Amino acid sequence: MKKLLMTVAAGAALAMTASAASAQTLNQVKQRGVLQCGSNTGLAGFGQPDAQGNWTGLDVDFCRAVSAAVFNDATKVKFVPLSAKDRFTALQSGEVDLLVRNTTWTMSRDTSLGLEFAVVNYYDGQGFMVRKKLKVNSAMDLSGASVCSQQGTTTELNLADFFRANKLKYEPVIFATADETIKAYDAGRCDVFTTDASGLYAERLKLTNPDDHVVLPEIISKEPLGPSVRQGDAQWNDIVKWVHYAMVTAEELGVTKANVDEQMKSANPEIKRLLGVEGKFGEAIGLTNDWAYRIIKHVGNYGESFDRNVGAGSRLKIARGVNALWNKGGLQYAPPIR
Amino acid sequence: MEENLAPGALVGQTAPTGALAHAYVRVEPVPSLPPPPGTVGAIGWVRANLFSSPANTALTIVAALLAAWVLPGMVSFLLTDAVWSGADREACVAKNGVLPGACWAFVKDRISFFIYGFYPIDQRWRVDLFFVLGAIGVGWMLWQNAPRRDIGMIYFLIVLPLLSYWLLGGNSWLGLSAVDTARWGGLMVTLVVAGVGIVASLPLGILLALGRRSKLPVVKFFSVMFIEFVRGVPLITVLFMANTMLPLFLPDNITVDKLLRALVGIGLFASAYMAEVVRAGLQALPKGQYEGAMAMGLGYWQMMRLIVLPQALKITIPNIVNTYIGLFKDTSLLLIVGIFDFLKAIETARVDPQWAAPTTSATGYAFAAIVYFIFCYGMASYARSMERRLSVGDKR
């Protein structure tokens, strides 16, 4: 009986997924008049409500950018806070049109969950934080160190792999929760604190003297975070992908929120194509030709969004690092618009 | 005449009146001596309550030591060393390497988020009005001498839920703009969920309990099945089922509101527990009460309404309130399915880089504890006074 029920449930789930995917997401969004964006339930710098209850953050900005491209209005977003457990079902069942919730792009997720990762909007990865007075400049100098990390996450595994691969000795000090881990590091129970780099900066703020600690440059794991959409709607996938590329291209070309109106008169053919002065690139993905202009006007380019939410302009002060543009030593690279 | 009699006179009932004249018989009672100094006043109270036996003395000393160990730290963290004002985390970071106490400035800055969540700022008067209407309803129901409590009942069970629904969710007739439940949050959601759970679970629970004890096999079977099934799974499973699985089973164009799903889940869950509590009361009643009621010629519903339930519910008041308190705190599980209840609002705010500091988390949790305590203690106190009032008859 139980087996039969499970089969029926799984079948129903699959059928739902299939029917949801074949529907035209863009039309649904336009008809509804609001974009439903699966967001984090609170992650510093990525999706976080402020004192007035407005969502802010890098992932939140991405949702707003999609809304700006579709509606010419960055506020037509309904944020649906999702936990790590129900995020994929929410996307599969059509509760959200788009999932932007610091989700790591992995092969198993990409191939078996009925969803499609569109693009990477933040390259995260595990990093290390140490006390400045230890005068350590590289993770390679950490031999013999005691390392605080959280239990049962991939963090623990990556840590072991890194030290073994580099033939370094270390002593793991493991805690159940993130709060305990950072408390122990602050109290001096260990020399090194490790978690994903974006988290390192957020946790650093909880230390007694944040300025006495430094994040090492090495990133020892790959955690590409990006928005995902339901499988089978190529147009919607393209829109989400190109919203990010437009923001990156704008940064590359120096088009900002402040100067975008001026740039409309630019003679640079790349800017002309980006802002829709030339060509019909927007119409090709079901939007208007000024789609990128709208994004930059309402939200800004990638660099601006990064700065404001997690970078130098925010309290987290995360270095651009691998998230810098490709021509500045980073990985953010957008295919040309032409 | 009698009050003038000497005590001796009472013993010898037949003694002649002339006996009163004897010198060895007192005419007046001996003035009573004050009690020994060790048994009155503060010392007496302490001796009677704190040091009455060796075991008690040991307990007192242990408790005092414990208090001396915990209290100073608590007071200095929560009050004397606390930071009361400031604009951001700079106010609550360590000064010269010394950590401050609780960062109340953080709570002060985020209090509106804790109460209203994402509710649009210009519409928050609606939430305030909801709190006021709710308080009136609760006061009306709980205050024994309130006028027209029958109207109060109708107000509480029918008018208030409808009004709250329109007020918070929006209603085009009343000219209130729609506010999606995704924008509800904070204490308001906790109170809505707990309120719905509390109001829905008692009637449903009574019906289920009666159904379980019913002689009709079908009714009995379904009641037992429902109660045992719901009690057999953890609340968190019910919430996951409602929030994660249900959308997969429903057709594409039908989406049931996320908060509503959770409300139904919690309401049904609480009813199953309430049913067992009420059944305990029903079974505690002597059989004679049922038989007496039947002998009076009362029908089933009359018997239940007039004889059985009033007594059964009275017996189980402590258990009912226990279930309510549990339910009130269980609402914090909503955070796992991404609904921003009061605790989730604090959880989210405490990691905000604007306020992230060494003591921010502790402050947030302390604030949550205080608020939950106020509500739960309020419920418990009311239940105690209710029990005292109802048990007058038992103490005769």
Structure confidence at residue B258 (pLDDT):
82
CA–CA dist A30, A70 (Å, integer): 8
pLDDT category at B226 given cuts 50, 70, 90 is very high
- Shortest Cα–Cα distance, A46 to chain B (Å): 10
Q: Supply the mean pLDDT for chain A.
A: 88
Judged by a CB distance cut-off of 8 A, whether residue A94 touches chain B is yes
CB atoms A41 and B109 under 8 Å: no
CA–CA dist A4, A118 (Å, integer): 36
- Shortest Cα–Cα distance, A10 to chain B (Å): 9
- For residue A9, give the chain B residue with the closest CA: B249
Residue with tokens 């992995």: A106
The region of weakest confidence among A80-94, A104-118, A226-240 is A80-94
- For residue B182, give the chain A residue with the closest CA: A80
Structure confidence at residue B1 (pLDDT):
43
Q: How far is CA B48 from the centre of its chain?
A: 32
Q: For B88-131, what is each residue's pLDDT tens digit?
A: 888 888 887 788 889 999 999 999 999 998 888 888 899 999 99
Structure-derived torsion over alpha carbons of residues B134, B135, B141, B144, reported in degrees to the nearest 10: -170
Structure-derived torsion over alpha carbons of residues A204, A206, A207, A210, reported in degrees to the nearest 10: 50
Q: Could you say which of B117, B247, B356 has the minimum Cβ distance to residue A44?
A: B356
With beta carbons under 8 A apart, name residues in chain B contacting A86.
240, 243-244, 337-338
Judged by a CB distance cut-off of 8 A, whether residue A316 touches chain B is yes
Structure confidence at residue B252 (pLDDT):
66
Q: Are B235 and B333 in contact (CB under 8 A)?
A: yes
Structure confidence at residue A31 (pLDDT):
92
CA–CA dist A219, A223 (Å, integer): 10
Structure confidence at residue A281 (pLDDT):
92
- Which of A139-143, A225-229, B333-337 has maximum average pLDDT? A225-229
With beta carbons under 8 A apart, name residues in chain A contacting B352.
42, 44, 48, 50
Instruction: Give the CATH superfamily of A126-221.
Output: Periplasmic binding protein-like II (3.40.190.10)
**CATH number assigned to the domain with residue range B104-395, chosen from the 4 options 3.40.50.2020, 3.40.50.300, 1.10.3720.10, 3.20.20.150:** 1.10.3720.10
Structure confidence at residue A208 (pLDDT):
85
From the candidates A86, A198, A233, A314, which should be mutated to test the interface with B, based on the most B CB atoms within 10 A?
A86
- Shortest Cα–Cα distance, A335 to chain B (Å): 34
Q: Are A203 and A128 in contact (CB under 8 A)?
A: no
Structure confidence at residue B253 (pLDDT):
66
B239 Cβ contact list (under 8 Å, min separation 6): B262, B265, B266, B333, B334, B336, B337
In chain A, where are the structural domains located? 2-123+224-328, 126-221
Beta-ladder partners of A172: A147
Q: How many CB atoms lie within 10 A of CB A329?
A: 10
What is the average pLDDT across B319-348? 89
- In chain A, residues 268-287 whose CB comes closer than 8 Å to chain B: none
Judged by a CB distance cut-off of 8 A, whether residue A172 touches chain B is no
Tell me the Ramachandran region of residue A53: left when phi exceeds 0, alpha when psi lies from -120 to 50, beta otherwise.
left
Q: For B26-78, what is each residue's pLDDT tens digit?
A: 788 888 888 887 778 888 888 888 888 899 999 999 999 999 999 999 999 89
In chain B, where are the structural domains located? 1-32, 38-80, 104-395
Q: Could you say which of A94, A207, A314 has the minimum Cβ distance to residue B252?
A: A94
- Shortest Cα–Cα distance, B160 to chain A (Å): 27
Q: Could you say which of A42, A86, A93 has the minimum Cβ distance to residue B347?
A: A42
Structure confidence at residue B57 (pLDDT):
92
CATH class of A2-123+224-328: alpha beta
What is the average pLDDT across A71-80? 92
Q: For A208-217, what is each residue's pLDDT tens digit?
A: 888 899 999 8
Report the predicted TM-score, pTM, of the whole model to 2 decimal places.
0.83
CB atoms B97 and A206 under 8 Å: no
Residue A312 has pLDDT above 80, yes or no: yes
With beta carbons under 8 A apart, name residues in chain A contacting B183.
53
CB atoms A315 and B353 under 8 Å: yes
Instruction: State the sign of the Cα–Cα–Cα–Cα dihedral B220, B226, B229, B232.
Output: negative
Q: Which two tokens stand for residue B233?
A: 């799974």
Judged by a CB distance cut-off of 8 A, whether residue A307 touches chain B is no
What is the average pLDDT across B160-182? 85
Judged by a CB distance cut-off of 8 A, whether residue A45 touches chain B is yes
From the candidates B244, B341, B344, which should be mutated to test the interface with A, based on the most A CB atoms within 10 A?
B244
